[in-house]
Amino acid sequence: MQTQKATAIAFPNIALIKYWGNRDQALRLPSNESISFNLGDLRTTTSVEFDPRLTRDEVSIDGHAVANHAYERVVHHLDRVADSAPAALKHSMPALLDGRLRARVVSNNTFPMGVGIASSASGFAALTLAACAALGMVKTEAELSGLARLGSGSACRSVPGGFVLWRDAYAVSIAPPRQWNLVDIIAIVAGKHKTVGSTEGHALADTSPLQIARVNDTARRLNLCEQAIAHCDFELLASVIEQDALMMHAVIMTSQPSIIYWVPATFSIIEAVRELRRSGVPVAFTIDAGPNVHCICEAHALKQVKQALWQMDGVRDVIQSDVGGPAYVV
């Protein structure tokens, strides 16, 4: 067998309606539906090369060989991709059938890792597309999204483009990037960050008595968010995404054990964003499983929001991105 190589590009995404908790943890089937948009100015490029000469899989991210849990997670995902091959392909490649197919995975991000931008979303979306393409598998977008989900839940939302809805097994696009000129301005806060990974966090969601109320209310928030996107209604978007993020953090804070991702600067930025909005600037906040604040604004407000953020104590960096397209094979 010759080596078989392919490269794919995927973008991280920011959830407007959050995914938190799984009804099936192993399959990453979510407790609730979620909506996001892709961050087209931040990208992950991943090459997968199946090479019969390799005795073990090799994984490098941003120029560093990856080991331990992160390595296992990638290798496990390659096994899933190989497993998903149709019977005819498996029979034409015996190494695929008995699990001896080894790959060299090289992944690079244009954004810093570990700053609260979910590199696992773009990472597993790009890995899925590259691995399938390297094996010559043709899959639908829904199949690729469903496969990416098994690696990291939110990765299924990085497969389709623009504004994306993840209902259960896979995600679909509900509007193209040009639908609404929104920008995500990410305020990276200084200080020591508590690191409880989202996988661990999802597993704790049901220990909070608030999770059931949050899950039962999902259809309402989803509907408001879809309306806001369809009509480019910023006031509506702001009220529903801020409430949604606060509901997720209320669950996180009241889980057992309790997790608090916020630091003092997180509160200051929330206040500043609300103050800006009161003065007429179309900006709203959302916060993932970390202390950084994603300030979602209309593109014409970009300069003003960035200026305000840079002036704040505790803001270490500011990263921005427009709405991006789907993941693709290069």
Which positions lie near ligand DP6, rule CB under 6 A? Answer: 15, 18-19, 28, 34, 118, 120, 152-154, 198-199, 202, 288-289
CB of 138 to ligand DP6, least distance (A): 26
Minimum CB separation from ligand DP6 for residue 33, in Å?
A: 10
Euclidean distance between CA atoms 45 and 35, whole angstroms: 24
Whichever of 97 and 196 has its CB closer to ligand DP6, that residue is: 196
Judged by CB, which is closer to ligand DP6: 19, or 262? 19
- Cβ closest to ligand DP6, residue 120 vs residue 266: 120
User: Residue 19: how many CA atoms within 13 Å on its side-chain side?
Assistant: 33
Tell the smallest beta-carbon distance from residue 9 to ligand DP6 (Å).
19
Tell which residue, 35, 34, 42, has the closest CA to residue 323. Answer: 42
Q: Tell the smallest beta-carbon distance from residue 55 to ligand DP6 (Å).
A: 29
| Integer Cα distance of 149 and 33 in angstroms | 13
The residue among 150 and 238 lying less far from ligand DP6, judged by its C-beta, is 150
Q: What three-state secondary structure class fits 141? A: helix
- 85 versus 165: smaller Cβ distance to ligand DP6: 165
**Closest-CA residue to 295 (of 181, 163, 184):** 184
Q: Which residues of 147-158 are buried (b: 16+ CB within 10 A; e: fewer)?
A: bbbbbbbbbbbb
Evaluate whether 4 touches 325 at the Cβ level (below 8 Å): no
Residue 19 CB, nearest distance to ligand DP6 (Å)? 3
